[in-house]
Structure 1
Amino acid sequence: MLVLHLFGGPYITVAGERQEIPAGSQRLLVLTALHRGRVDRHFAAGLLWPIGNDQRAGGNLRSAIWRLRGVGVDVIRTDNVSIFLRDEVEVDAQFASEWARRMIDGTCVGPDVSLFPWFDDALHLLPGWYDDWAIIAREQLRQRVLHAIEGLSRRFCEAGRLAEGVEAAMTVVCAEPLRESAQRVLIEAHLAEGNVGEARRAFEEYRTCVRTELGVDPSPALTRLVSLSSPRALRAVAHR
């Protein structure tokens, strides 16, 4: 198996054996992987080496490809028009993106409903990379995975896997403390466990946070969710 790792990388593994990518070739390989299709040679050269003329950018592109092949990292194919990954190359970020898509559109299967160790890496793709195209890709994957993990928390709770539901929700809350949708799934997971005190504590912490950081209160819907879980409200419901 040939895998390009963007999480904690970039680097390549071939049959589980790690291979490093030359520094001068990393941006080209990552750009190609993130597009996951054919990338126009002139577009890639101009994007990665914008200073200088087209001839110089094209030379830099050829050098980056040559460096990869020179150290035995033969993962890119080229023609006169485009560059692209070999069909057999798997990309961990693409795996995460496809998992998130299935969770969001409801086509997930049994193994998808799991807590994966790569969640944190998917939420912080390529830290320290400040190219505009890398920043955009990072935020696209981050938003997709955040939505997916919220859905995962709800699926765990529906299946009675409540501890995992709380853990999934906490993953999103830790990544985005001001994200109300994440706070909602965490509170819902606590309530599903019957932990009203935990739900109310999470709400109070969130309310303090958004008041301090944004100068606003939680939405009426979230406030109402917690209000309905108060001991007085629960006793009222029980005696109806």
Structure 2
Amino acid sequence: MNPSPSPPRQSTLLLLDRFRLESGGEPVPLCGNAQRLLAFVGLRRRVPRCVAARTLWPASTEAHARGSLRTALWKLPCRAQGLVRCTQESLALADGVAVDARDLARTALDVVGGCGPPRVEPVLMGLLEQGDLLPDWDEDWVVLEREWLRGLRLHALDTLSERLARQGLPALALEAALASIRIEPLREDPHRSIVSTHLAEGNLVEALRHYEAFRHLLRAELGTEPSPQFARMIPLEWRCAARRR
């Protein structure tokens, strides 16, 4: 098999918020099957051809799915053909092609693993400013990848919030926790981080106000209360006084 052509210089595959392929800063238009193929290979980096065919055309027979895969590869426009390295057994994204979803995952994993860079502001902005993975796509493989990436980002934001609070950067700690809450409002961890940060700063009224707001949200949405561990962060007399008002 002839080698695939060289990838366009400065090629970027953007999968957060919506699908975009850019080459040299210019958009490259692709049809639906080509988008799905590049997104799948871009997220996996390397994948067996049989897996790509079965995943992208799950309702087809194996032979028809493999044929659809060959057609999708053949129909890639010239500016995109070099992005996929093809062998008889596998497909791989060409070296040097940036994928924003993979960059986000790498940043989040570094934060969760405790090996992120010492300057947290750029990391925080990277975690804050990205959208969901292909939010308008509903294929099963996309949904699984989207939920995995969302959960990883939430854990990274929670970890970063705690780290910033320990470093004496309460404003950034609150921003990380609030970003986590905007993604998933009913998770308790970021709310606890906010209350803990307010208490450490001596902002008792803000801590109590946030706890009560979360308590009302939980009761309205799930009919439950914050955990006993969270409740113990706020003295009982404060909670009672707030509810008598």
TM bracket, shorter-chain basis: 0.7 to 0.9
Residue 39 of structure 1 contacts residue 84 of structure 1 at CA under 8 Å; is this kept in 2? Answer: yes
**Structure 1 segment 55-70 matched on structure 2, within 5 A:** 55-70=63-78
Q: Deviation digits for residues 81-139 of structure 1, max 9, x if unmatched?
A: 111100111111111111111111111112444431553535x2110211111111111
| CA gap 1:84/1:112 in 2 versus in 1, 3 angstroms | farther
* 1:187 and 2:195 correspond: yes
Query: Structure 1 residue 13: deviation in Å?
Result: 2.4
- CA gap of 1:195–1:49, structure 2 versus 1, over 3 A, is same
Q: Return the offset for 1:217.
A: 0.9
Structure 1 residues 227 and 39: alpha-carbon distance in aligned structure 2, compared to 1, 3 A threshold: same
**1:109 has 2:113 as partner:** no
Normalising by structure 2, we get a TM-score of 0.85
Give the superposed CA RMSD: 2.1
Instruction: Using the TM superposition, give the Cα deviation of residue 178 of structure 1 relative to its aligned residue in structure 2, in angstroms.
Output: 0.9
1:32 equivalenced with 2:41 (yes/no): yes
Which residue in 2 is equivalent to 1:52?
Answer: 60
Partner Cα separation in structure 1 for residue 113 and residue 121 of structure 2: 14
1:191 deviates by 2.2
User: How many equivalent residue pairs?
Assistant: 229
In structure 2, distance between residues paired with 1:23 and 1:2: 19
> Which residue matches 1:13?
22
Q: Could you tell me whether the CA contact under 8 Å between 1:184 and 1:222 is conserved in 2?
A: yes
Q: How do 1:1-240 residues align onto structure 2 when only pairs under 5 Å count?
A: 1-36=10-45, 38-72=46-80, 74-114=82-122, 115-116=124-125, 119=128, 121-122=130-131, 124-227=132-235, 230=238
> Is contact 1:113-1:152 (8 Å) kept?
no
Query: Residues 195 and 216 from structure 1, CA distance in 2 versus in 1: closer, same or farther, beyond 3 angstroms?
Result: same
Matches of 1:82 and 1:218 in 2, distance apart? 49
1:160–1:73: structure 2 CA closer, same or farther, 3 Å change rule? farther
* Cα separation, partners in 2 of 1:180 and 1:96, compared to 1, 3 Å: same
Aligned position for 1:236: none
SS in structure 2 at match of 1:108:
coil
Instruction: Provide closer, same or farther for how the CA distance between residues 22 and 73 of structure 1 changes in structure 2, counting only shifts above 3 A.
Output: farther
Q: Is the 8 A contact 1:100 1:144 kept in 2?
A: yes
- What is the alpha-carbon distance in structure 1 between the residues aligned to residue 237 and residue 155 of structure 2? 25
Are residues 85 and 138 of structure 1, via their aligned partners in 2, closer, same or farther at CA, if it must alter by over 3 Å?
A: same
